[in-house]
Chains A and B, each alone.
Chain A
Amino acid sequence: MPSLKDLKIRIDSVKSTRKITKAMQMVAAAKLRRAQEAAENARPYAERMNAVMSRLADSVKGSDTAPKLLAGTGSDQTHLLVVMTAERGLCGGFNSSIVRLARQRIESLQAAGKTVKILTVGKKGREQLKREYGDLFVGHVDLSEVKRIGYENAREITRDILARFDGGEFDVATIYYNTFESVISQIPTEQQIIPASFEESDADATLYEYEPGEEEILEELLPKGVATQIFAALLENGASEQGARMSAMDNATRNAGEMIDKLTIQYNRTRQAVITNELIEIISGAEAL
């Protein structure tokens, strides 16, 4: 049976935990709004980019001179998995769900005899994958110093990936991130970025004049398309992280509240018991006289 003092200390400690989780929840809510706005702002660019690229891709697809980024290297032996996670924990299953998806993929690829390479973005994914697949790591992008994800960050990651692609380090690249569905639901997503894949466009058959030629434009656009996809993924991930943290912290706050109630009842019972005990002692002492 814990003493009254012990109980008091526990209650105080749970109370301060609750304060912290409550504060984190509110911070996450504020950040979530900003992250959603950023994702919203990036959408028009991504949409147009995709529309133009898929149209171009359609017209170049058959040709022998199609850029490698579109047509692929002709093999799918080596896969690069870009696993994007958060820099921080305390956000529920956010990081684990991405890692789980990536891990399944790694296992199935390895079972099929493919070579897997891993590039991690964000510290948490790296920590979780390091134990098992540490020897597959080819790089890591650290975003812990970055306060607001900008297009610049996406460009740097893209530059790194493209340099590896040009160096012949891999054939297929896939990114892993969480799509923001709502505050309580984030969907782990995998998306192949190299060779580029587009949804069939239902675009109007407008004939465009291209300046310079179609392939030159495509050559210039494809790396930007990769950057755009990565940027969109980073933003989705950012919003998802805050959403996941918000609901995780909401739960934590509620649990702490329940814990405090339970402990307070126990504290009061113990206090009553102590008082009753003292009374009995006094009364029986008086009766003995």
Chain B
Amino acid sequence: MADMMQFDLVSPEKRLASFEASEVSFPGAEGNMTAMAGHMPVLTTLRPGTVRVVGADGATEYVVTHGFVEVTADSVSVIAEKAFAREGVSREELQGVLEEARSKAAEAEPEHRDAAEKFVADLVHLIDNMD
């Protein structure tokens, strides 16, 4: 059994998860990452996508949109502005987020437009791969 580390998933409104995990994969700003115990400290922002956590009793998945991740040697904290348990989330909910992102991208300043459109594209990708 691999070494365990503390995994926390918090959103502004509540703590969604907090347990021991052996491995956590998440969509970082510059590519997907998997962190295991002993990983070097990293702080990265998140793209929309799924966070996959392997704990003592199997893998759990969460859908996150905005947020960031703090990885230390013995813990991974996902600090997400919007997060759902994979089973509990419906396409409709994400569609709402998508609409908002689209309108934001449409009116964004030129220098921010790339980022906004990338966000929309990531969301679309996420929604398409839902089921």
Task: Give B116 Cβ to nearest chain A Cβ, in Å.
Answer: 12
User: A85 interface residue, CB < 8 Å from B?
Assistant: no
User: B44 interface residue, CB < 8 Å from A?
Assistant: yes
Q: Are B68 and A221 in contact (CB under 8 A)?
A: yes
A-side contacts of B12, CB under 8 Å: 42, 45-46, 151, 154, 227-228, 231
Q: Are B41 and A209 in contact (CB under 8 A)?
A: yes
Interface size in chain A (residues, C-beta < 8 A):
28
Q: Identify which of A48, A150, A224, A231 contacts B70 (C-beta below 8 A).
A: A48
Chain A 208-233 near chain B by CB (<8 Å), digits 1 or 0: 11111000110011001001100100
Chain B 34-71 near chain A by CB (<8 Å), digits 1 or 0: 00000011111100000000000000000000101010
B-side contacts of A216, CB under 8 Å: 45
Q: Are B40 and A42 in contact (CB under 8 A)?
A: no
User: B11 interface residue, CB < 8 Å from A?
Assistant: yes
A-side contacts of B44, CB under 8 Å: 210-212, 217
Interface residues of A in 124-169 (CB under 8 A from B): 150-151, 154
Nearest CB in chain A to that of B41: its residue: A208
Instruction: Knowing A211-B29, A217-B45 are in contact, say whether A224-B81 is a contact too (CB < 8 A).
Output: yes
User: B6 interface residue, CB < 8 Å from A?
Assistant: no
In the bound assembly, the distance between CA atoms of A46 and B30 in angstroms comes to 25
B-side contacts of A42, CB under 8 Å: 12-14
Classify chain B's interface size.
Answer: 20 to 34
Q: Are B43 and A208 in contact (CB under 8 A)?
A: yes
Interface residues of A in 26-70 (CB under 8 A from B): 38, 41-42, 44-46, 48-49, 52, 56
Q: Are A217 and B81 in contact (CB under 8 A)?
A: no
Q: Are A45 and B79 in contact (CB under 8 A)?
A: yes
Q: 6 additional contacts, CB 8 Å, given A45-B13, A52-B43, A224-B66?
A: A42-B13, A56-B43, A208-B70, A211-B29, A211-B45, A220-B45
Q: Are B42 and A211 in contact (CB under 8 A)?
A: yes
Instruction: Knowing A48-B77, A220-B45 are in contact, say whether A209-B40 is a contact too (CB < 8 A).
Output: yes
Q: Are A45 and B11 in contact (CB under 8 A)?
A: yes
Interface residues of A in 217-251 (CB under 8 A from B): 217, 220-221, 224, 227-228, 231
B-side contacts of A150, CB under 8 Å: 13
Across the A-B interface, the 6 shortest Cβ-Cβ residue pairs: A211-B44, A41-B14, A151-B12, A45-B10, A208-B41, A44-B10
Q: Identify which of B13, B41, B43, B70 contacts A41 (C-beta below 8 A).
A: B13
Q: Are B11 and A212 in contact (CB under 8 A)?
A: no
Nearest CB in chain A to that of B44: its residue: A211
B-side contacts of A212, CB under 8 Å: 29-30, 44-45
In the bound assembly, the distance between CA atoms of A48 and B43 in angstroms comes to 12
A-side contacts of B41, CB under 8 Å: 206-209
In the bound assembly, the distance between CA atoms of A52 and B45 in angstroms comes to 12
A-side contacts of B42, CB under 8 Å: 208-211
Can you list 23 A-B pairs with a CB-CB distance of less than 8 A?
A41-B13, A42-B12, A42-B13, A44-B10, A45-B11, A45-B15, A45-B79, A46-B12, A48-B77, A49-B79, A52-B70, A52-B79, A150-B13, A151-B13, A209-B42, A210-B44, A211-B29, A211-B44, A212-B29, A217-B44, A220-B68, A224-B81, A231-B12
